[in-house]
Chains A and B, each alone.
Chain A
């Protein structure tokens, strides 16, 4: 009986202490505005006004705010991930799984309607701006799951069927360039969705060859002096080590002039004016998403002019974020490359900024974007 009494005292004291200490910490601990690991702005508390209370908005905001700003949030999320996968043997945590040291998202099933939509978006660009004088290419970048999911018992799309379907849907206006056979798991970052620039020179050569251009030259491999935790690091909440970002340079790339089309303005005579930007932005490399160092990351319009190629060749590359890392390598064989991301710009506006006359055009998209093509405009 005595031992029961002691146990009950311990149980009551611990429960009371946990509630009160955590309550005090909830009130007193500093509230960060941004979660580095999750790469998102944390919920803010709405002002305590009659309107906000009566409408329930304040309560809703408090729910999100108190959860987002809970003390030791990252540690608790890691604990949840470990319990979920370790104790309950769940195969994924919030649709993210870690296998062979690589974190990836479950991308399943193949959504045919989205493939059709993506092909229609591409065809829309072709019908609006292009003609038979343009050489048009389509290429699909398989996501990491193509090399990781099936082998590790996760749901996996039929990537061959995916490519075949996209080839079929776009064959009337473009030539399909296959690159999946050149890729393997090691070509991707362990904690991020993206591929590694230093690993994809063969892919760039295959694309250039298909477009009748000479392959890329020799490169110097440079290391970013900043640990890289990719997007899956925060989403999985698993304790994964930081990686190193590498970027390639050579004389031709060093001599390129890169301009940011998102900050476009018009001169006195109506000429387009775009501010210059670095090809590899070290500031962004040390920022929230270091992968944005490649050509500024998620920009709708970027131009790269290469004075080393003087034949006036022009490549218009419709791309997603994977394209940012490979575009510098493609620049080596063109006088000019224009990168367009139609997730962020209406294609109808492109005629104002891009001269498509005689240009090679490539639609280079990852399976992640094509399979979720609601984002394409």
Chain B
């Protein structure tokens, strides 16, 4: 079930909030668990059992690891727990990828398993792994399976993150409070996130699709596509994260922020501190640091970076373009670490242009269906087409540039902190605060009505991160 859908907004969410409000305090987590399981089952009937089994393994191993934490059994228990969680992920996400490549290398024809990827498996697997590792590092294990289940399956973040650490919401699972401020802030965040998704990301998604269906390739079309996809993926994913964080807050949870205006970064290093923060910090804490992190020789550090970014690429998808995408960032981060970072500090303008250009190239690779398409999309940016040089412009490109100009401009402005700063400035002024207080509910209702209108009209609406 998509957040940006009529069934979610006007059926599931309405009923879930109602049930949650009327549930006694003791049963609120049970209510959340049941609603979340229903939410998951709606879109993933066959593999709901896989998620439940994964959670049960996590629960049992959490208790065992806590019990034997001071003994030699801690390490093997943790390793087995991580291995079990990863085995589900490896089988469902990577089995066919490995077979394909094995066949390509050996010339054999091992039949593909044609396994369907369970929705959200990459996210909930990482949450379970972080839980058991945190317990092995000293966090207390969750004794109540309902609480652990509510944490893993919590529908706001179940299928596309942010990857919420158990340690971050451990206390809130048992003793959270519900305040008017939190609820209103949650609603505000949810509505704005929904707006980012429906009004900006979906429209840019149409532009991206129009490029794929285009009959007149041109240099302008390729750049328009690349810029549109960069904005599309940001608004799609950060919009989803906003909705998740907002919904979490309505239910009394404070999830980790997942995006912090990544497109204003002055280096790729900074970009990755601002983009998909929960994934970056997960790899830092559970892969990079255990491998030695920065506290080792230069060569080892670079090796650690390569491993982390190879895995980051793999996490995003079982295809070579994702691996190349991950390693591409490993190379950029290595160059910055060894040499470039100090030069980037000299000019904010040039450093930002550098970031935007290299991130744009990365997302062209990311969104391709394979390395061949990635190559052709990249070559298109410099005017090289499949059958010779491309024209600079085409009628389709100009038409779509005109048709999507306002959306793109709004997207560019919206991906900077400017709107937030303006709103804060408005809130601080004595006179403007009155206007802001009156305008905010009106804007929220108008936005919600407009987004409903877009949903009713059945526009373009896939969530990009569902495939991970």
Q: Interface of A with B (CB < 8 Å)?
A: 3-12, 14-16, 18-20, 22-23, 26, 53-54, 56, 59, 62-63, 66-67, 70, 73, 76-77, 79-81, 83, 87-92, 94, 108-109, 153-155, 237
User: Which residue of A is nearest B184, CB measured?
Assistant: A8
Q: What are 24 of the A-B contact pairs (CB < 8 Å)?
A: A6-B437, A7-B437, A8-B180, A8-B183, A9-B184, A11-B184, A11-B440, A12-B180, A12-B183, A14-B444, A15-B187, A15-B448, A18-B448, A20-B18, A66-B6, A66-B11, A67-B5, A76-B449, A79-B453, A80-B450, A88-B199, A90-B404, A92-B403, A153-B402
Which of chain B's residues 151-169 have a Cβ closer than 8 Å to chain A? none
B403 to chain A, nearest CB (A): 4
User: Which residue of A is nearest B427, CB measured?
Assistant: A4
A318 to chain B, nearest CB (A): 28
Chain A proximity mask over B404-421: 1 for CB below 8 Å, otherwise 0? 111100100000000000
Which of chain B's residues 385-442 have a Cβ closer than 8 Å to chain A? 395-396, 399, 402-407, 410, 433-434, 437, 440-441
**Within 8 Å of chain A (Cβ to Cβ): is B457?**
yes
CA of A32 to CA of B5 in the docked complex: distance in angstroms?
21
Q: Which residues of B contact A15 (CB under 8 A)?
A: 187, 191, 444, 448
Q: Is the beta-carbon distance between B403 and A90 smaller than 8 angstroms? A: yes
CA of A53 to CA of B41 in the docked complex: distance in angstroms?
10
Other-chain contact of B14, A5, A14, A19, A92 (Cβ < 8 Å) = A19
Q: Is the beta-carbon distance between A63 and B183 smaller than 8 angstroms? A: no
Q: Is the beta-carbon distance between B14 and A154 smaller than 8 angstroms? A: no
**Within 8 Å of chain A (Cβ to Cβ): is B13?**
yes
**How many B residues touch A, CB cutoff 8 Å?**
53
Q: Is the beta-carbon distance between A83 and B453 smaller than 8 angstroms? A: yes
**Within 8 Å of chain A (Cβ to Cβ): is B117?**
no
CA of A89 to CA of B457 in the docked complex: distance in angstroms?
17
User: Which residue of A is nearest B203, CB measured?
Assistant: A88
A20 to chain B, nearest CB (A): 6
B54 to chain A, nearest CB (A): 21
The interface centre, meaning the residue of B7, B45, B181, B404 with most chain A CB atoms within 10 A of its CB, is B7
CA of A66 to CA of B14 in the docked complex: distance in angstroms?
14
Q: Which residues of A contact B450 (CB under 8 A)?
A: 79-80, 83
CA of A89 to CA of B452 in the docked complex: distance in angstroms?
19
Other-chain contact of B10, A23, A59, A63 (Cβ < 8 Å) = A23
Q: Is the beta-carbon distance between A11 and B444 smaller than 8 angstroms? A: yes
CA of A155 to CA of B216 in the docked complex: distance in angstroms?
12
CA of A153 to CA of B402 in the docked complex: distance in angstroms?
9
User: Which residue of B is nearest A153, CB measured?
Assistant: B402
CA of A83 to CA of B452 in the docked complex: distance in angstroms?
12
Q: Which residues of B contact A54 (CB under 8 A)?
A: 45
Q: Is the beta-carbon distance between A155 and B444 smaller than 8 angstroms? A: no
Q: Which residues of B contact A16 (CB under 8 A)?
A: 17
B312 to chain A, nearest CB (A): 32
A184 to chain B, nearest CB (A): 23
CA of A26 to CA of B5 in the docked complex: distance in angstroms?
14
A361 to chain B, nearest CB (A): 33
